[in-house]
Amino acid sequence: MSDVNFRELRHAPAMPVNFAKAVMRARVKPGKNPQLPNVGLRLNDVGLDAGHLAAYRKVCGFSDDGRLPVTYPHIHAFPLHMALMMEDGFPFPAMGLVHVRNSITQYRPIAEREQLNIKCYLGNLTQVEKGYEFSIFTVVSTGGERVWASESVNFFRGGGSGVKADKGSRGTPEPVTDAIEWKVPGNTGRRYGAVSGDRNPIHLYPLTAKLFGFKRQIAHGMWSKARALGQLQHELPEEAFTVAVQFKVPMFIPATVKFAREEKDGGLDFRVVAKDGVKPHLTGQLRPV
């Protein structure tokens, strides 16, 4: 991060502008030797809107406890993520990327009246079997104290190495038994899009999703993570912890899904699976730091 050239922003990038640029860059190709631009974005003194926070809590299942939901800073970082992918020299089309993994470390609970300083930058470009993966890193501080950090791993399909990664021996997962059932309405993508700014057409309506090859709209991955942590809200540690998730099979909505958790290695493992109790939409691990 020390070599990143950070640019200070006066206000958050407008998401409609970001999406318009993404459409214009839809034909960008990575070439044979893609490189990430050595840039970062910084946005200071981000004040939080009570109405926006309440809407986020409602759609993601968090209760009002005077603290920010652990996934909430991502909402304020996402416009910076999009803006980074609009930078000159960024080698991939943003509309063709898939969010495959996300890890958040919360160093302490964040009070809802604290102002946030946010910085984001790119890194870890890796060629994988079927394409490329890269990370967007985010660090959030308040009053000079680092309180939150994340890594969002995105995948571009195409130009891969063809070499399969050794994932070890993985048996068929046991169906969940002690699970909580969620009913996920068909408007979840529109409701989450309204508070997150992520109005990607694949999340909105059956027709707009079909334009991109989906049979109907799918839930946002970060909504699934937030909803899982909303379910676990009263079990989250007071001390520092990391919660990592892997996004698996898309969740077509409306849907009935199941949430299961178990204590493991001093923390929690959790899953969001289809109604059959097996097909995974999300797997996650929460561990103390």
Residue 104 belongs to domain with CATH number: 3.10.129.10
Residues 196 and 274 in one domain: yes
Last residue of a domain, one of 162, 187, 219: 162
Q: Show the low-confidence residues of the chain (pLDDT under 70).
A: 1-2, 167-172
Residues 136 and 270 in one domain: no
Residues 38 and 139 in one domain: yes
Flag whether 169 is in a domain: no
pLDDT, position 213:
87
User: With b meaning 16 or more CB within 10 Å and e meaning fewer, what string describes 93-119?
Assistant: bbbbbebbbbbbbbbebbeeebebbbb
**CA 2 → CA 27, 41, 109, distances in Å?**
32, 13, 27
Residues 9 and 139 in one domain: yes
Contact 257, 155 (CB under 8 A): no
Last residue of a domain, one of 100, 128, 162: 162
User: With b meaning 16 or more CB within 10 Å and e meaning fewer, what string describes 6-32?
Assistant: eeebeebbebeebbeebeebeebebee
Flag whether 150 is in a domain: yes
Count of domains observed in the chain: 2
Secondary structure (3-state) at 212: coil
Residues 91 and 23 in one domain: yes
Flag whether 213 is in a domain: yes
pLDDT, position 175:
80
Residues 185 and 135 in one domain: no
pLDDT, position 26:
87
| Containing structural domain, residue 141 | 1-162
Residues 125 and 24 in one domain: yes
Flag whether 168 is in a domain: no
Residues 45 and 186 in one domain: no
pLDDT, position 241:
98
Residues 128 and 249 in one domain: no
Residues 227 and 93 in one domain: no
Residues 10 and 73 in one domain: yes
Residues 151 and 198 in one domain: no
Flag whether 171 is in a domain: no
Last residue of a domain, one of 99, 132, 162: 162
Secondary structure (3-state) at 76: helix
